Amino acid sequence: MIGQALEPGGPVRVRQTVGRGTTVPIEEQAAYFVKSVEKAFDVLLAFTPDQPRLTVSQVAARTDMTRASARRFLLTLADLGYLRAEGQAFELTARSLDVGRAYLASLTLPGVAEPHLKELAEELNETTALCILDGADVVYVACVPSPRLLSVSITVGTRFPAWATSMGRVLLAGLPPARLEEYLRTVQLHRFTDRSIGSVEDLRTEVEAARIKGWSMVSQELEEGLRGVAVPVRRGNEVVAAANVSLQTHRAAAQDIEASVLPRLLEAARRIALDYGGPVRGSR
């Protein structure tokens, strides 16, 4: 990783970090640079998903510090609430999230998703979108249309009944049980096509299938000749949106879509989730 340090009134100085905690020294450190701040972040960044609990010796090795220095940083960060000691090991606490909270809060989900949706649309040459649940409807908050026009006009702000779409069934599957039951008690079904789902019990079955599989496909229930496949986008354990690909039924059979489109859609949702601040749980 290459970083630039600008010294007021002086030339640009370049400082290179190789890996984590290993720094190539520069001839003259910028006057304002606080080395202990760098070391504190090196200690925090030493903890990874693969190794969430580290001993003093492990931290010292990962940060190129002496064991005594590593211990002082660990104990200080523990006193500040960013770490906690468990026997001979240390681990991060929830307070460590405060460091990036303001940045994550400034991210908008549509803005994060759009480049991934564009990439997916170009790869598949199909319409891609991101939807959220608003009451009984799904609302499109981002959309990248295919060059091939669909019979259903889809733009940002478009609403459809959640029960009639793949996005809606994925989002309903992510609801807490009590909220889902309330939705099912009050939903009013009607037929858009001859293939539209006909009963609340059938809808419950489809929503449960979406929850178990982690995706949903709906064919010609909203519009003749239109098929949609959707997967959840998660932030932590919460389903915050559904990513979707819409395509015409003559383009591919359902089994071909499951084999070719679904893996790409799952990967796009995973990348959206990571950029938005949390991994996709249970992605396939």
**Number of domains the chain is built from:** 2
Per-residue pLDDT tens over the stretch 60-85: 999 999 999 999 999 999 999 999 99
Mean pLDDT for the stretch of residues 114-137 = 90
Is the pLDDT higher at 278 or at 174? 174
Mean pLDDT of 78-100: 89
Predicted pLDDT at 227: 86
- Residue 87 belongs to domain spanning: 2-101
Q: Are residues 90 and 153 in the same domain?
A: no
88 shares its domain with 151: no
- Per-residue confidence (pLDDT) for residue 222, from 0 to 100: 86
CATH of the domain at 155: 3.30.450.40
Q: Which of 50, 76, 101 is the last residue of a domain?
A: 101
Q: Is the pLDDT of residue 280 over 80?
A: no
Q: Inform me whether the pLDDT recorded for 144 exceeds 50.
A: yes
What strand order describes the sheet that includes 53-55?
53-55, 89-92, 83-86
The CA-based angle 193-138-146, given to 5 degrees, is 75
Residues in CB range of 62: below 8 A, 6 or more apart: 20, 21, 42, 46, 54
Q: What is the pLDDT of residues 31-52, one digit of tens each?
A: 889 999 999 999 999 998 789 9
Q: Residue 5 pLDDT more than 70?
A: no
Which residues lie across from 6 on neighbouring strands? Answer: 12
The pLDDT tens digits for 195-230 are: 898 899 999 999 999 999 999 999 888 888 888 899
284 falls within a domain:
no
Q: Would you say residue 146 has pLDDT above 50? A: yes
Mean pLDDT in residue range 158-171: 92
> Could you say which of 101, 120, 147 is where a domain stops?
101
Quote the CA–CA distance of 112 and 196 in Å, as a whole number.
33
Query: Which tokens in the block code for residue 79?
Result: 């006193």
pTM of the model: 0.61
Could you report the per-residue pLDDT of 236-273, keeping only the tens digit for each?
Answer: 888 999 999 988 777 767 777 888 889 999 999 999 99
CA distance 117 to 122: 9
Residues 43 and 173 in one domain: no
User: Within a domain: residue 281?
Assistant: no
Q: Tell me what pLDDT residue 279 has.
A: 54
**DSSP-assigned letters across all residues of the chain:** -EEEEEPTTS-EEEEEE-SSS-EEPPSS--TT--HHHHHHHHHHHT--SS--EEEHHHHHHHHT--HHHHHHHHHHHHHTTSEEEETTEEEE-GGGGHHHHHHHHH--HHHHHHHHHHHHHHHHTSEEEEEEEETTEEEEEEEE--SSPPSS---TT-EEEGGGSHHHHHHHHTS-HHHHHHHHHH-----SSTTS---HHHHHHHHHHHHHHT-EEEESSSSTTEEEEEEEEEETTEEEEEEEEEEEGGG--HHHHHHHHHHHHHHHHHHHHHHHTSPPTT--
- Give me the pLDDT at residue 148, please: 60
pLDDT at residue 12 in the model? 36
The residue assigned the tokens 């606490």 is 93
In this prediction, residues 7-13 reach a mean pLDDT of 38
Q: Is beta strand 137-144 parallel, antiparallel or unpaired with respect to 226-235?
A: unpaired
Distance CA 229, CA 245 (A): 6
Q: Are residues 144 and 253 in the same domain?
A: yes
Q: What is the mean pLDDT of the chain?
A: 82
Q: pLDDT class for 131, splitting at 50, 70, 90?
A: very high
CA distance 147 to 176: 38
Q: Based on the domain organization, do 174 and 215 belong to the same domain?
A: yes
